[in-house]
Structure 1
């Protein structure tokens, strides 16, 4: 089906709409679920655009009115079960004997969904979900997160993806600029590689910070509780939080059994509403010393939009966001954490750094509606064969 035929078909479905099948293996199961929340926000923003007819293939959860499901057979039940097991990446990493059959089933189900969809264009979240794109020439937009870059190191993976991209217009869209060189090297000759940042909910920009007089300074860490995600948090922060002058509050699901130090204030998972309303306004800042393969952590973007300075480990994903000593602090060693805390203990320096962070987020990232507009522009260009 060529681009002209696609646009003619779109005109037949009212208001010059064109149909998009968005595929994702993560999606919140309820309004209080944290898993895949950024996908839900993207779906909501795309659904607000009148020119897009959106079809969704993902685990079941709350979707906006007018969005159609793209499941075949028992896909809904199967995807829900996969998510309850921790997702495909978790199963392959922790239980490879069971993860491999699940991976093959996932590829079969995705292939079936793509083939039976009447979409004009595929919006595929994560590289592995693009392997089974059908050979019918329909354009595809593929988002890339930090964990996808590890996938590219697997033997034969680049060959499989290049085969899937061959013969169609493809836009590969990482959500962080640091991924661009490797993706250009792997696919730049057959696909358009474009950095497309996700959006930020407007509630974070509207947040008003307030320091509580004569109270310990509260620092927050919002993370899945795994060894890689926590990184050096306990070791590097212990000397600075083992007194009553500062508190470190940890939020997130316990995905690995890790013994937490007594000085950590652990609260379990928290909804964005709870963090925005009850914790971020009075927080001194955000700390993340992750050693995980991060893409562009959404919680860091939200913290910047909220006007919080960030203390972070020096990873490409963090360097991509923070201007060292201006809107945050990048740490190479334990002593850097103490230096950063000493600077941001000062209310004036803290607020100045937070203001710079918020200004950058508003200018460079914007809202989820801004993100949806970026994708919608790429949809049009792919359908016209001019995504470059």
Structure 2
């Protein structure tokens, strides 16, 4: 943090209301961990006065919660049910009633919090109840948000809200720039902004011993789309071999895990960083899920782990194929990637390239907070928006 930043209470301090429907309950909670890091990084800045509306969880002392106790109780239950996106995918009557109640709560939060220079809104749908006060908004976008645009009237309603103010739409990956520009380019700036990476991942020292163990890691929520062809493609390559496939993540769709897979359930970042990342061959993700820039991939690369990933835009925007990892679109390509990255020298070379890329292109959460702050100031007219 620069010593030239103004003190809190200065006229140069921006009052930011950050709104999110996900936030971890405590340090052991895997849900919405990236939001805790973002809030902490923004709260560390002396040129930001941060108010937060989100599910209950520990906030930095320099951030203020504006969530009421009633809202906190309801949001806590929503998080326990898997979050709003999971509920909408699950179907049923709650698919209609829950989003309506959520939007009403968000609208109430906007109405009662008047001291704001810039809204920092996580997820497109949370912008729908913005008040008609003309105050600018930065809206972050993940891959799931693009599916939202297929709903009837959704694009029209969002455009209507955006026309009333200056807006920066900030997807966390470049591949979303084109579709968002096509949908909103005439009413908003579209500026991709990468999330940050905690320094602890950069500090990991790998102790790879491929001769002793060929451990490959998969860290994901367990849904059919997130698992993709993992079990099918891995069966002959892992079952009854010297390879081990270790799977971490919460069960969200009743996916059947084969008995040859080492399934550990949800794991905390501390467990992954301490017990698993240092000795692993690499991280595997064969997801078919529409996602922005998967945070676990960034953390693995910062830890100098090579990546094996399905060939899709979200992964291709992170993995430099043949340099920091391997992109696969068939069982044969997947098997070849495993073989290549189980050569110790190749593995270390790919891992070093992955870490170098993460340092150069992503940086830390403080770097991310600086990127957002630059956009805040552009939105209120103090600086360039980019």
State the superposition RMSD in angstroms.
Answer: 1.5
Q: Structure 1 residue 102: deviation in Å?
A: 1.3
| 1:13-162 paired onto structure 2 within 5 Å | 13-14=9-10, 16-72=12-68, 74-117=70-113, 118-162=115-159
CA contact (8 A) 1:216 1:244 kept: no
Which one of 277, 287, 290 corresponds to residue 290 of structure 1? 287
Q: Does 1:377 align with 2:379?
A: no
Q: Structure 1 residue 16: deviation in Å?
A: 2.7
1:222-265 Cα deviation digits (max 9, x unpaired): 01111111000000011111134110100011112122112101
Q: TM (normalized to structure 2)?
A: 0.95
1:7 match? none
* Structure 1: gaps spanning 5 or more residues: 1-9
| 1:1-16 paired onto structure 2 within 5 Å | 13-14=9-10, 16=12
Which one of 380, 384, 387 corresponds to residue 385 of structure 2? 387
1-side partners of 2:69 and 2:286: how far apart? 43
CA contact (8 A) 2:301 2:355 kept: yes
Q: Structure 1 residue 387: deviation in Å?
A: 2.1
Q: Does 1:240 align with 2:237?
A: yes
1:329-362 Cα deviation digits (max 9, x unpaired): 1111111111001101100011101111110110
2-side partners of 1:246 and 1:94: how far apart? 35
2-side partners of 1:148 and 1:287: how far apart? 24
Q: TM (normalized to structure 1)?
A: 0.95
For residues 213 and 98 of structure 1, do their structure 2 counterparts lie closer, same or farther at Cα, with a shift above 3 Å needed? closer
1-side partners of 2:236 and 2:207: how far apart? 26
2-side partners of 1:81 and 1:263: how far apart? 34
2-side partners of 1:214 and 1:320: how far apart? 32
CA contact (8 A) 1:28 1:34 kept: yes
1:175 match? 172
1:80-99 Cα deviation digits (max 9, x unpaired): 11112221122222133122
CA contact (8 A) 1:329 1:340 kept: yes
For residues 151 and 383 of structure 1, do their structure 2 counterparts lie closer, same or farther at Cα, with a shift above 3 Å needed? same
CA contact (8 A) 2:7 2:47 kept: no
| Count of matched residue pairs | 379
